[in-house]
Structure 1
């Protein structure tokens, strides 16, 4: 399958806990190396509730709001960012950016699958989270404030790298271990989540069908608009839905159903 990452499953752990080192068409194909299996759920997928909605709605501080990456995402920047990622980030986030590095097991909240969450978030949000770390509400993670270690260019370079990693532009470097995104396994996780939501009467079967049929369009729109984008996940999702309605790819009713189901799934703790 060519299903892109199911963005709503990634929102909750958006950069929620990160690098552990304190020093130093409407579909998008995902390139994989080692992959997570259905019997080994990777971090950043289903099962987390609690503070997910708060993270989802987190407002970007004024000093960061509206920032866009001044560093061209060229080969040189991505190479520099890759070196920084391997040194500082892969131990928690894993080689493939799926939140399953060797240090991840003991962390709560779990490290985010940043390679793919980075596809859905604005530059300002990413730079804020990398810079300030996780020792604050609503994130409460072990990620340090990387502004104390990395200069501004370094932080923008590593953002370029994780975005290139998530889009398949670069292959994961083999060092710390960890899975790359597996679209087939994620397709099954999505179906399981929606089935559970119907069983719990969080959503109806009809709503599950609409949500499953439209999430690829919404994901794709967000990824196409990624360059120079600003805002948190809520903002970008709302923008993508509005654009799809204007383009005639979704009806307003479908967009409203998608947004409503998304919120109910999150509040019920069925996705992260």
Structure 2
């Protein structure tokens, strides 16, 4: 079955870089009308411009902090005011932190959970009525950190585990309403989040990616486009009977020892 999102309205959060950028570009190629959300205005405008080049459809760019109620409300209102409908919600925005219980402070916990859990919960709540109206669906972007236990991934791993269960709970609740809810669980993926979290240089980051690739059964780290393809598949009619699933895209990394993962190697 061919995938076509012509005249479908798709909201992608965290669209200014990484997985969100790749996802926005793929939906644009498939004809979607896009609402793109990010905190970095310059990057977001650049991504929106690239999306417009794909099929000539100009996205709505919303600069907002999804860790705040104001940012969530702005995103929902501007999207629905502009398009009058919503077919797909991609909850991709997220932040991370490197810490453990002996070093953690509550400010870091609150910051991570405000975006990765509370922000998703609140935005989804506001947009569910529109999704019920269109028979739309939701794709949440989680992480294998939600199912693998790695020292140093607190509270990010906790937040992603919560997101996985949120996916299952809301999928069950909304199934009778005709709304599907799924999640994608990326492994190590080329993006800006690790560099922001660790403060490493580009050379250090590339060296780390090469090192991690040797621990992945399929021998490669993920690209943003790998995750985007799965997001689009789950959002499409090809997955019309798929709901409540958390789909790993990780090259098999989840089957390896947790000591091979991010935090230990990124010292």
Which fold has the larger relative contact order, with Cα–Cα distance below 8 Å and residues 6 or more apart in sequence?
Answer: 1
Q: TM-score, normalised by structure 2?
A: 0.28
Q: TM-score, normalised by structure 1?
A: 0.27
Higher strand fraction (1 or 2): 2
